[in-house]
Structure 1
Amino acid sequence: MVRPEPPPVPAPMLATPGELPPPAEDGRWGYEFKWDGVRAVSRVHDGDLGLWARSRTDITVRYPELARVPAALAGREAVLDGEVVALDALGRPDFGALQGRMHRTGPEVRRMAAAAPVTYLVFDLLALDGTDLTGLPYVQRRARLDELQPSGERWVATPWFRGGGADVHAASRENGLEGVVAKRLDSVYRPGVRAPEWRKVKHLRMQSVVVGGWRPGQGRRAGGVGSLLVGVHDDDGRLVYAGHVGTGFTDAALKDLDPLLAARPASPFADALPREITRDARWVEPALVGEVAFAGWTADGRMRHPSWRGLRDDIEPEDVTEEWQA
């Protein structure tokens, strides 16, 4: 018997940063909690699991504890969208705890998986038994997912709410979550598109950044990284300076960063930088992507009070652009 070809895996649809829909439109939207982890599209084919990050990188080997798929998917062919998360003692996603797993592919992976397993939170169903569901409205895809209920082992089908966005947003804050994602009930799934019909509404502003350099530290950080010089790409594809990040680092994060910073002789930023920044800057190849939390943008395009959250290997440097308006 010839095995069927596995279903294709699309790039994930992305949400646009924004505000909750106005009350008059609330009933036209569905709401999900925003999970603080790594986006992953999964494919279940012939009992085997494949996982792909937003960058289209195959990350299956990094999370072996997810390989045992729920009973609801036994004998099924499916493509699903979700988030890989590490949960803290209170059951809340902890992005910092996930950092140690994101770049691992060696023999230590199984030991780490046994000691602190991750969870796959599923929130969309893109294909089932050879049928492409991406052209269906969100409300119908969620109904199919709720009917399938792919929960069990290290998998959880997440809740969603029709309307009531303000209450869902408040509940996310009360439970220490990152925010909510609002999705138009009639929205089809548009692979690889950052679409206005999906909105991510966070309690803090988060921004992906490209690391372009660093400045030496002082005190106990003397001789190493004190702060990172980071940027985003503008509409013309130029890497423009967005500020320096000197807080939010753990000792382990700094240790992991050091071997990844590949030196270069000149600044990778397109704009001229002030002398107080360049005089002791060490420039690096703009190949690393990180995430920062920040208060907002200044008039000259710098992030206010940025704090480092960690590296992201699920986003390509060239895809990093400004996510929040001033």
Structure 2
Amino acid sequence: MFAVIGPAPGLESEAEYAYETLWNGVRVIAHLPGNGSMRLLSQTGVDVTDQYPELKALPVLLPGPQAVLDGEIITLDGEGRPSVERLQQRMSLHHPQVIGHAVEDLLVQLMLYDILYLGEPTVQLPYTSRRDLLDDLALASPCISVPAAWPAPAEQALEQTRLEGYDGVVAKRLTSPYLPGRRTRDWIKIKHLVRNRPAT
């Protein structure tokens, strides 16, 4: 499921959405068959599991039923903000030995923000129910987390992410199902203007 780029919902409809940080990273779908293994598939369907060995803790955190999770891989800079440059360096590595060394200097994190399957399909559930399921899993480790979602008003989420140096927020309609492969206004990507970013 993909977001459209647009302005924040107006005052008359902003309470119909939750607001999540816009991560400037690599979108992946995590497949956990329930046998202790995992596959990370990129947006184009490429298996990138071996490129990010530090994320193989996910099946340990979720050893139960089969699951499919949606999220984004990011790399942080020295100030704790997502860094496209550092992530691109990590994405270019493929040799296991080189990747092993890079884990120390270019550590990645997996931000999980949706759940498509948990023992049975969940895509038909509304966003609020899927978030409840995801939050109840309590997935947390140094490299794996479920980021918070803000309720309305949208301005609070926009101001907080601007101050923290993120690119913006994604507004997600509370009643929306998960629509695989579709781009819809149920998810709205709201980007900060460059001139509004804090000075570095």
**Structures share a fold, TM > 0.5?**
yes
Q: 1:70, 1:151 within 8 Å by CA — same for their partners in 2? A: no
Aligned counterpart, 1:18:
6
Q: Counterpart in 2 of 1:118? A: 108
1:56, distance to aligned residue in structure 2 (A): 1.3
Question: What does 1:98-177 correspond to in 2, within 5 Å?
Answer: 98-107=87-96, 108-129=98-119, 131-177=120-166
* 1:88 Cα deviation from its structure 2 partner: 1.5
What is the alpha-carbon distance in structure 2 between the residues aligned to residue 35 and residue 115 of structure 1? Answer: 20
- Identity of aligned pairs, percent? 35
Deviations 1:163-190 (A, max 9, x none): 2211101111111001000010011111
Bigger Rg over Cα: 1
1:84-130 CA distance string (max 9 Å, x none): 0001222211111101111321131111123321000111111112x
Note the residue ranges of structure 1 that are not aligned, 5 or more in a row.
Answer: 1-12, 206-326
- How much has 1:70 moved relative to structure 2? 6.2
Confirm or deny: 8 A CA contact 1:68 1:153 kept in the other structure.
no
Alignment-mate amino acid for residue 76 of structure 2: L
- Which is bigger in relative contact order (C-alpha 8 A, separation at least 6)? 2
Alpha-carbon distance between aligned partners in 2 of 1:48 and 1:38, rounded to the nearest angstrom: 21
Tell me if structure 1 keeps the 8 A contact 2:31–2:67: yes
What is the deviation of 1:71? 4.7
What code does the residue aligned with 2:82 have? P
1:279-305 per-position Cα deviation (integer Å, ceiling 9, x unaligned): xxxxxxxxxxxxxxxxxxxxxxxxxxx
Counterpart residue type for residue 81 of structure 2: R
Q: Deviations over 1:118-150 (max 9, x none)?
A: 000111111112x10001011110011111121
The whole-number CA distance in structure 2 between the counterparts of 1:170 and 1:122 is: 22
* 1:195 CA drift (Å): 0.7
Residue type of the alignment partner of 1:29: Y
Q: Give distance in 1, aligned partners of 2:150 and 2:105.
A: 33
C-alpha deviation, 1:65, in angstroms: 0.9
**Corresponding residue SS for 1:69:** helix
Distance 1:121 1:164 in 2: 23
The whole-number CA distance in structure 2 between the counterparts of 1:35 and 1:69 is 19
Q: Return the alpha-carbon distance in structure 1 between the equivalents of residues 59 and 143 of structure 2.
A: 8
Aligned alpha-carbon RMSD (Å): 1.4
Q: Matched residues in 2 for 1:70 and 1:57: separation?
A: 19
Larger strand share, 1 or 2: 1
Cα distance, 1:192 vs. partner? 0.8
Whether 1:32 and 2:20 are equivalent positions in the alignment is: yes
Instruction: Return the structure number with greater helix share.
Output: 2
Secondary structure of the 2:90 match is helix
Residue aligning to 1:323: none
Equivalent residue for 1:78?
A: 67
